[in-house]
Structure 1
């Protein structure tokens, strides 16, 4: 009950602050399983799309939320999980960086590493010391390692939910969406029956510019475009570029 009341109150505040105007230009609001993919310029993007959706769609649609921002306090965790029913994801570069390895202790005799030869100490009974460099195995598309970051989204889609994603992976600050990352392509391959709906979020970056904590009243809108689909045999980059162009085109509608 508290989460529902908070959701209603938040919806009123957001609509008073931004207008949260939804423009269904390319498709009607429909209770079918969808992946909404949009440009990303503010932490409020997920809130903006959530508020723009009709109530019957909000209840079946889960936005993604960056864990390193939305899970940093008990209140943020509560509102993203209980009100928005968001899916936490790890943003690129947010993983902790391991500390540098300690320098080896000085010794009287130093053995220089070699990657193509056997180096043997002067002690007669010591076995030969071989220095090798383990090759870094490439991440295979479709492997468990490649799908790990998408697993929360895959589980949500498997359960029948619609989701809201931002294929740029991180916020942009130039007004132009960055190149889309491969997650949208992978999800389109895995769930061909799910409808892919592009969306353009306008002006929300001006409501709360980077570094600010007090929002500014600005009229904002979300324009939902004509669905796109992954064509048979279409490769990753052409599809992602086409999906990005579908989002950008909505700016001028």
Structure 2
């Protein structure tokens, strides 16, 4: 009950402050399992996406987030675990015992969807950086999984790097057409195709 109340308050405050609207350009909202992949410019990014999802989808679309940021302090822990049901991963060198794919695969195996930021780190609102290989590994392991590009507009101005509180500026979130790994498609080719689709969605 407390988590649901907190989620409603966060959604309302986010919409009030940013006027964020969801634009479903290439697909309709669906409770089907998907991997949403988005550009990353702010700690507010997944909150913006979460706020424009239909209420019935929010508990099943789980953001992939940095363990070292969100697992500090009682409030952050409550938000990421109880409200957003985040999938926390360790940043830095990938090791067998701390492979970030393990947690993501576990969430997918439970039937949940993921919200992933394949650049791996926050940008500055400029060019979309090359994608890390994790999204390719997930597409390879879950061949029927739809990958939906998500463009978050203006988040880098609402909450730039180094700031603690968001600024009241307008944002939007656009959802593109679902994609899948092509037959015999190589890793670099696939990652660049996803990156281009995201950039084109931002220009739409």
Bucket of the pairwise TM-score, normalised by the shorter protein? over 0.9
Question: Is 2:26 aligned against 1:3?
Answer: no
Matched, 1:36 2:71: no
1:101 — aligned with what?
Answer: none
Larger Rg: 1
- Measure the CA separation in 1 of the matches of 2:5 and 2:97: 39
Runs of 5+ consecutive residues of structure 1 not aligned to the other structure: 96-143
Q: Which residue of 2 aligns with 1:27?
A: 27
Q: CA deviation at 1:20?
A: 2.1
Q: Hey, which of these two has a bigger chunk of helix by percent?
A: 2
On the 8 A contact 1:23/1:224 being kept in 2, the answer is yes
**Distance apart, 1:228 and its partner CA:** 1.1
Q: Distance in 1 between matches of 2:36 and 2:187?
A: 18
Contact 1:92 1:169 in 2 (8 A): no
Distance in 2 (CA, whole Å) between partners of 1:147 and 1:66 is 13
- The reply to whether residue 13 of structure 1 matches residue 35 of structure 2 is no
Q: CA deviation at 1:147?
A: 8.6
Structure 2 match to 1:192: 143
Q: Using the alignment, how far apart are the partners of 2:163 and 2:180 within structure 1?
A: 38
Candidates 165, 168, 181, aligned match of 1:214: 165
Q: Give the conservation status (yes or no) of the 8 Å contact 2:45–2:152.
A: yes
Deviations 1:104-130 (A, max 9, x none): xxxxxxxxxxxxxxxxxxxxxxxxxxx
What TM-score results when the alignment is normalised by the length of structure 1?
0.78
Whole-angstrom CA distance in 1 between matches of 2:83 and 2:197: 30
Q: 1:167 aligns with which of 118, 124, 140?
A: 118
TM-score, with length taken from structure 2: 0.96
